Structure 1
Amino acid sequence: MKISRNRIAINPLQWVASPDGWIDPSLAPPLAEQLRTIREAGLTAVHSSVPAGVTVEDYAKALADHGLSAAPGYLPVRLSDDATEKAQAMESAARAAEQHAVLGVPTMFLAMGMAKDAPRVARPAVGHLADQDRLERVRDLLAEVAGVIRAGGIIPAFHPHVGTWAETEEETRFVLDTVDASLLAFGPDMGHLAWAGADAAQLVRDYADRVASVHIKDLRLTIAEQARSEGWDYRRTVLAGLWSEPGQGDADVDGFLRALPEDFDGWLIVEVDRGAQATPEDSVRLCGAWAAAHT
């Protein structure tokens, strides 16, 4: 599948992958350095993520100064009975929608959040402790947050993620089947779905009219399978070499792309949670080479 060069972006998580198999934003180099490397790699867009202490206007200018445009960002929300925490989630959703509107990005990914001590981080990708009542609460939270995002003029796209209370194919289908399409679109991550043993391409075909944008990930399926069968935790699986740059693992990335609707006009966002290359810069360049080959 060939798509417009201007519709492939990157979420450069390579720079923030921490030695313990997690994510540490403090590891990232200065924004200008990141943007320069991304542009030099031949990429033309980047996942929207306005740094703390930076206005959305200044962020937009920094992108423009490096010849880059903004692509859909990502909002995680945590399931909580605490009224204050829930209110903060709604405020975050409204703020994220406002930022996307200023950046001219019409959609954003919406996922459940996770923490290092979460039950499914200890036992990921198998639907650990599945509970229908909790899943319905998850669905209700996603729908409520989606409503806030829609009110800001932005389309929220549900993004299943390993380690959260919405990670498996069954949970993905439940959310999409019980939240109206006019409220919540679909923003699959082929890598996280594959890690959980789901058929990401079939999900895209089944919900083709709701696919707004997607995350492109490659991975080593044998590691994912071994991790599920042997009960590895999230970080052990990542440190075992789960992720790779597109085209470097054994996931069927091209098959996933072929499953997208013929009239798909959303974003492909390349995301490597932990680079398999010598440096993050090498990883970003390899992502740029993959993008060039598919445009």
Structure 2
Amino acid sequence: MTPVLDRIRVGSAPDSWGVWFADDPQQVPWQRFLDEVAEAGYSWIELGPYGYLPTDPVRLTDELDRRSLKVSAGTVFTGLHRGPAVWESTWEHVSQVASLTQAMGARHLVVIPSFWRDDKTAEILEPPELTAEQWGHLARGMERLGRQVKETYGLDIVVHPHADTHIDTEANVERFLDSTDSDLVNLCLDTGHYAYCGGDSVKLIETYGERIGYLHLKQVDPDILAEVVANELPFGPAVRRGVMCEPPGGVPALEPVLQAAQNLGVDLFAIVEQDMYPCDPDKPLPIAVRTRKFLRSCGA
């Protein structure tokens, strides 16, 4: 019998259409993304990179309403481990995205830490490990961000562990959670990135359930991941090799992840994100249709 996952709200994101940047000739036009995500059977989307979708709330609302779509979250990128000196520029970027996110009726802001190596060129930008002082900056900075975003825009921040950032492995994710206030900072658990970095999503949900505020559903091809690890490939080239794959063909198995999330007894978004930048423009829709069908078979 198929389980009933009535606390899980499934959606998708521009990422699943190969969109990583606000403007890039290799990406599908935003109108096509909206048409196809609705056609695939999703009703929730994320904003994606700021500026990809229209940033005028009236126009964007009209475009979404015509396709029966709603926004679950916006996304921001931060480098708060660098300390108070980056606060003003960070807040300027966050305010822009948070304002639109709030205007679209969403309640979450996904916060991605900055990369320590460039995802296009593989250039090492910073040491891959933080110092104790930088961990302190990161924790206090995220708490400050969580407080200010909530007070100013009424949104909850959910921090997204990500490959090639300083919040990646099980040890680093747990360190981050243990050093931040759960009233201000929670987690967007991306099942693919966590598996990419060696983590167990079900274990994390069962251990830190009260900190799981949002989910990204993604799978990793274990054979390609083994090559990536052996050759120390950066995330961008790994994606081009197909390391993030169509479910249910990779790891982690999504059924137990969704069941563990359902067992938390709270409403959670579970947004499909299959990194495919760059990709043929005709590739995403059939995958999205099959993925939605697979998730329905899981009860979501």
TM range (shorter): 0.7 to 0.9
Other-structure match for 2:177 = 176
1:148: which partner in 2?
A: 148
Residues 36 and 185 (structure 1 numbering): CA distance in 2 closer, same or farther, change over 3 Å?
same
Q: Say which SS state the counterpart of residue 213 (structure 1) adopts.
A: strand
- The 2-side partners of 1:171 and 1:204 are apart by 15
Which stretches in structure 1 are left out of the alignment for 5+ residues? none
In the alignment, what sits opposite 1:233?
Answer: 234
| Structure 2 equivalent of residue 290 of structure 1 | 294
Q: Distance in 1 between matches of 2:58 and 2:116?
A: 31
Match of 1:42 in 2: 41
Letter in 2 for 1:155: D
SS of match in other structure, 1:73: strand
Which amino acid in the other structure matches residue 290 of structure 1?
Answer: F
Q: Match of 1:213?
A: 214
* Separation of aligned partners in 2, 1:140 and 1:225: 35
Q: Tell me the residue number matched to 2:273.
A: 271
Taking the aligned partners of 1:11 and 1:257, their CA distance within structure 2 comes to 18
Letter in 2 for 1:12: P
C-alpha distance in structure 2 between counterparts of 1:289 and 1:90, whole Å: 39
Work out the CA distance in 2 between the residues paired with 1:261 and 1:185.
17
Deviation per CA, 1:200-255, whole angstroms, max 9, x where unpaired? 21111111112111000011123223322432222332222211122122421112
CA distance in 1 between counterparts of 2:234 and 2:47 reads: 29
**1:30 to 2:25 alignment:** no
Aligned partner letter, 2:295: A
Gaps of 5+ in 2: none
> Shift in Å at residue 122 of structure 1?
5.9
- SS in structure 1 opposite 2:189? coil
Distance 2:133 2:28 in 1: 42
What's the CA shift for 1:258? 1.9
Give 1:285's aligned amino acid. V
Q: Check conservation: 2:146, 2:184, Cα contact below 8 A.
A: yes
Residues 224, 264 of structure 1: CA spacing in aligned structure 2 closer, same or farther, 3 A cutoff? farther
Q: How far apart are residue 81 of structure 1 and its match?
A: 4.9
Structure 1 residue 105: deviation in Å?
Answer: 1.3
Matched residue of 1:288: which SS? helix
Alpha-carbon distance between aligned partners in 2 of 1:3 and 1:279, rounded to the nearest angstrom: 28
Alpha carbons of structure 1 residues 70 and 5: separation in structure 2 relative to 1, 3 Å: farther
Partner Cα distance (1:23, 1:238) in 2? 15
Aligned to 2:285: 281
SS in 2 for 1:248: coil
Shift of 1:71: 1.2
TM-score, length-normalised on structure 1?
A: 0.85
Correspondence for 1:161: 162
Q: For residues 137 and 291 of structure 1, what CA distance do their matches in structure 2 show?
A: 39
What is the CA-CA distance between 1:78 and the residue it aligns to? 2.2
User: After superposition, what is the alpha-carbon deviation per residue over 1:10-58, rounded to whole angstroms, capped at 9, x for unaligned?
Assistant: 01324336xxxx7674233332221111111111111134536631222
Partner of 1:133: 133
Q: CA–CA distance in 2 between the matches of 1:70 and 1:103? A: 6
**Structure 1 residue 285, shift from structure 2 partner:** 2.2
Amino acid at match of 2:245: S
Change (3 A) 1:186 1:288: same
Paired with 1:259 and 1:268, the residues of 2 have a C-alpha distance of: 12
CA-atom RMSD in angstroms = 3.0
The match for 1:245 is: 246
Comparing 169-178 and 28-37, the one that deviates more: 28-37
Q: CA 1:140–1:5 in structure 2 vs 1: closer, same or farther (change >3 Å)? A: closer
Q: Could you state the TM-score of these two structures normalised by the residue count of structure 2?
A: 0.84
